[in-house]
Amino acid sequence: MTDFLNAIVLFANFVFVPGLAYGAQLALGALGVTLVFGILRFANFAHGDLMAFGAMVTILVTWWLQSIGVGIDPLPTALLALPVGMAGAVALALLTDRWVFRFYRRRKAAPIVMVMASVGVMFMYNGLVRFIIGPDDQRFADGARFVVSARDFRDMTGLDEGLVIRQPVLITIIVAFAVVAALFWFLQRSRMGKAMRAYSDNEDLALLSGINPEKVVAVTWVIAASLATIAGVLYGLDKSFKPFTYFQLLLPIFAAAIVGGIGQPIGAIAGGFVVAFSEVTITYAYKRFLEYFGFQPEGLVQLLSVEYKFAVSFVILVLVLLARPTGIFRGRVL
C-alpha cells in the first residue's frame, strides 16, 4: 500500500503537477492564437514572440522594481510588473496591426498573405527582443520558492516520495483559472464579447448589425497580447526566460489550438492540457515509478527523450489533421 501511494505521489510530482502548470501556460497562449484566428482569420506566427516581448518588458520592470527594493514578498515581484508588460505587449500588437495587418485586412488579402506577414512580424519581434535583452537565459523569479517542499510533504505523510509544489506552479494555476474565467464571462455576457463572437461567426452580418470591425479587432489584440504576456511570464517564472524557447513554444500552442478546434476558446484550453499532458507523460522516465510496483526495468523506461517534446505536439497535430480536422470542439478547418 505504501508502495502504491509512493508511486502515486511520484507520478503526481513529476507528471501531473508539471503537466498542469505547463498545460495552463499553453492554454493561455492557445487562447490568444484561437481568438486572433476567429476574428482576423489567420494563424498568427508572431504569437510566440509576442509572448517573449511581453515577458521581456515584465522582466525589465521586475529588475527595476527589485533594484529600488519594491516587492510583494513572498509573491514574485514579476506579478507586480505584469500589468506593465501587458500594456507593452498590447501597445506593440496594436501598432503592428495598425502598420501591418490592417492594410491586408482592408484589401481582403488572402489569409496566406497575412500568415506570411505574421512571419515577418515574428522575426522583427524576435530581433527586437534579442536586441534589447539579448538571446541568453534570464532569471527573474524571486519570492518564496515552495508552497510545499519535499521534506514538508514527507514529514507530513511519512512517505518516501515528496510532492513538491513550487510557488510558480501554484501561481500559474490560480492566475490561469482566474483569467480564463474572466475571459469566458466577457465573451458570453458582455456586449463587446458577444460582438466579438458575432464577428467571428459571420463577418458580413456583424457589419450589417452595426458592429465596428476595427473596434472588435483592437479588443481582440488587447486580449490576445495580454494573454500572451501572462502566459509568457508564467512560463518564465516556472522555467526560465529565453527568447528562442518562446519561438519554439509556437508549435505546441498551434497544436493546442487545432486539437481543441480552432476559433473555439474552450477548445484551446482543452487542447493546451491535452498537448501538455501528452508531452510530459511521453517524455517521463518511468523507471522509479515501475520499481514501486515490483518491476526491475533495465533502462529508464522513457518513451521519448525530452529533446523530442516538439515531436509529441507534432504527432498530436498530425493525428488530429488525419482523424478530425475540426478538433475536439468542432472548430473551423483552417
Which residues contact other proteins (rule: CB under 8 A)? 42-43, 45, 100, 103, 111-113, 115-117, 119-124, 126-128, 130-132, 134-135, 191, 194-195, 197-198, 200-202, 204-211, 247-248, 250-251, 254-255, 258, 299, 303, 305, 307-308, 310-311, 313-314, 317-318, 321-323, 325, 333-334
Contact call for residues 121 and 115 (beta carbons, < 8 A): no
Which is nearer to other proteins, 233 or 255 (by Cβ)? 255
Q: Please give the Cα distance from 142 to 28 (Å, whole number).
A: 23
Amino acid letter, 217 = V
Please list the alpha-helical segments (H only) found in the chain.
2-11, 17-40, 47-67, 78-96, 102-106, 111-133, 150-157, 167-189, 191-201, 203-208, 213-238, 243-260, 265-283, 287-291, 309-323
Q: What minimum distance in Å lies between the beta carbon of 221 and other proteins?
A: 17
The burial class, CB within 10 Å (0-12 / 13-18 / 19+), for 105 is: middle
Which is nearer to other proteins, 17 or 183 (by Cβ)? 183
Q: What minimum distance in Å lies between the beta carbon of 304 and other proteins?
A: 9
Which is nearer to other proteins, 136 or 160 (by Cβ)? 136
Contact call for residues 34 and 267 (beta carbons, < 8 A): yes
Which is nearer to other proteins, 60 or 237 (by Cβ)? 60
SS3 140: coil
Q: Please give the Cα distance from 288 to 286 (Å, whole number).
A: 6
The burial class, CB within 10 Å (0-12 / 13-18 / 19+), for 245 is: middle
Which is nearer to other proteins, 211 or 268 (by Cβ)? 211
Q: What minimum distance in Å lies between the beta carbon of 287 and other proteins?
A: 14
Q: Which residues contact 306 (CB under 8 A, 6 or more apart)?
A: 283
Q: Please give the Cα distance from 194 to 213 (Å, whole number).
A: 13
The residues pairing with 241 across neighbouring beta strands, listed in sequence order, are 138
What DSSP string runs through 151-199?
HHHHHHH--SS---EEHHHHHHHHHHHHHHHHHHHHHHHSHHHHHHHHH
Q: What minimum distance in Å lies between the beta carbon of 244 and other proteins?
A: 8
Which is nearer to other proteins, 131 or 293 (by Cβ)? 131
Which is nearer to other proteins, 195 or 231 (by Cβ)? 195
Q: What minimum distance in Å lies between the beta carbon of 45 and other proteins?
A: 7
Q: What minimum distance in Å lies between the beta carbon of 173 and other proteins?
A: 28
Q: What minimum distance in Å lies between the beta carbon of 42 and other proteins?
A: 7
Which is nearer to other proteins, 55 or 258 (by Cβ)? 258
Return the ∠ at Cα 131 (arms to 240 and 99), rounded to 5°.
105
Q: What minimum distance in Å lies between the beta carbon of 148 and other proteins?
A: 34
Which is nearer to other proteins, 178 or 205 (by Cβ)? 205
Q: What minimum distance in Å lies between the beta carbon of 310 and other proteins?
A: 5
